[in-house]
Chain A
């Protein structure tokens, strides 16, 4: 079974965001594999362990993303592709087009991605990729079962669980709870440095800038207004509770 995992390198979720000149500052930030994509990597490796085959991890992003791909290789993926040619960068439309060009280079039975990235959180790329490739998709999975060419996914639909079936080839996206991603072992880390990692360019993929032209543009990036610290209520607990209930109903008018 050949599996493609799409991953993005993102800020660690404990990072604070600093904006300078209308852009998010990256200096000194700890980068990780987007947590949702980490579930995707883990699930792909588990499928390989069950059925054999190869796991390819791919990322569209700057050269620093090589570290995230190496981590995925250390976890157990077999090869990596990094589309770090700046001509390949753009919006979700662009990235989906680039990933589709990469996905078409090999016959993948299953493509797995996180359901969204924790940075821009737009949740578009994976679904766009499935659409571009003309294959079905099942999103936000908390459980995946593959039997023959039959796929059953348990999907988190706003708290309800939908049990959905499809046939291979299929694209699925990972939701939290899908699995518990492994840490790379020391042997894994040593092996990872020797596994193939290819850098691809616009020309390599046979794309033109016109093919992948972004449809959207970001015109500003800013921080929310800092929240003013509120009040710690004082006095007897019973009085605090009374005061709070009155405030929520009569002052804030958010209850009742």
Chain B
């Protein structure tokens, strides 16, 4: 049966993140020919509506207000509920991102709905939608269904295929006006301190260069950043490196920390503790650079170089520079 599916676009720094396009492909599967709407919640976001019809959106809801410039749970909930009231979706997809992770459970509870978090795949069989999601940070997986009511899911970036252009849907913009009362603004963002290096976010990065205890110091990350710059990659770290104070915890990859599935993961001086492997072993291609040939990281690596990262990483940077500039 055809379903109405609402996709809450994931916007970061005024741009649509790739996961929005991935959610649209998921939405097309779930909708089975039903209507698809995208919600753009934010401030000065209407420009992002362009092209969404081509990617499969019948309708693009725009809730634009200064109160939505920065994410706050209560203001975004209100904006979301306005869209929900108008569209009455059977299924709602959000990104498993800073905003989606926070907004989804809030609106799911408000709707009395079940939610499946952090999905990496979905199958549709008649009326039944079955989601696949990791547990224990990817050491195992479960298949989960929503038994009744509205279906809410958050989608992990980099896993569903992106929706292809040329869907030829109208993408009709529908603006909804929302006025905010004090009770809709129960939290306030005073300040945002940008820490993300070069704007490449770990959870959505296609390439990650990651360092472990082997980097030995905060300065030891320098060659990793240089390699990352050449590759347009994000820089991550193991728990060992974070615990040792070489880097910020926001860079940590593992069962505690972020779970990532980039196309390419380059592990430098990381031995491969089980809890780290859980966070990265579902990456498409893994490269390990480590002095110790017995390091467990080599068991999950597609390519391994046994050697000192301070020697190997700069050589890699130079080689990539040379080849990519040809």
Measured CB to CB, the residues of A under 8 A from B are: 11, 13-17, 19, 24, 35-36, 91-93, 96, 118-125, 127-128, 130-132, 136-140, 142, 152, 156-167, 175-177, 214-224, 227, 229-233, 237-238, 240-242, 244-249, 252, 254-256
Contacts and interface: CB of A to CB of B under 8 A. Distances in A.
Contacts of B112: 93, 215
A10 to B, nearest CB: 9
A25 to B, nearest CB: 11
B88 interface: no
Given A158-B196, A230-B301, A232-B298, A176 B249 contact: yes
Contacts of A91: 114
Nearest to B249: A177
Contacts of A17: 136, 139-140
Main secondary structure of the interface of B (DSSP, over half): mixed
B231 A255 contact: yes
A256 B207 CA distance: 11
B105 A127 contact: yes
Contacts, number: 268
B137 A162 contact: no
Contact of A19 (B102, B114, B140, B197): B140
A113 to B, nearest CB: 12
6 contacts: A121-B118, A122-B117, A127-B73, A156-B249, A216-B147, A217-B144
Contacts of A19: 140
Nearest to B274: A14
B146 interface: yes
Contact of A214 (B143, B147, B188, B282): B147
Contacts of A247: 303
A224 B98 CA distance: 26
A13 B259 CA distance: 13
B194 A166 contact: no
Could you say which of A36, A130, A166, A241 has the most chain B C-beta atoms within 10 Å of its C-beta?
A: A241
B29 interface: no
A230 B286 CA distance: 9
Interface residues of B, number: 101
Contacts of A227: 281, 299-300
Chain A CB count within 10 A is highest, among B97, B105, B146, for B105
Contact of A244 (B143, B254, B278, B287): B287
B287 A248 contact: yes
Given A13-B256, A17-B140, A165 B293 contact: no
A245 B207 CA distance: 14
Interface stretch (B32-40, B57-65, B316-324): B316-324
B201 A124 contact: no
B260 to A, nearest CB: 12
Given A216-B144, A233-B303, A127 B249 contact: no
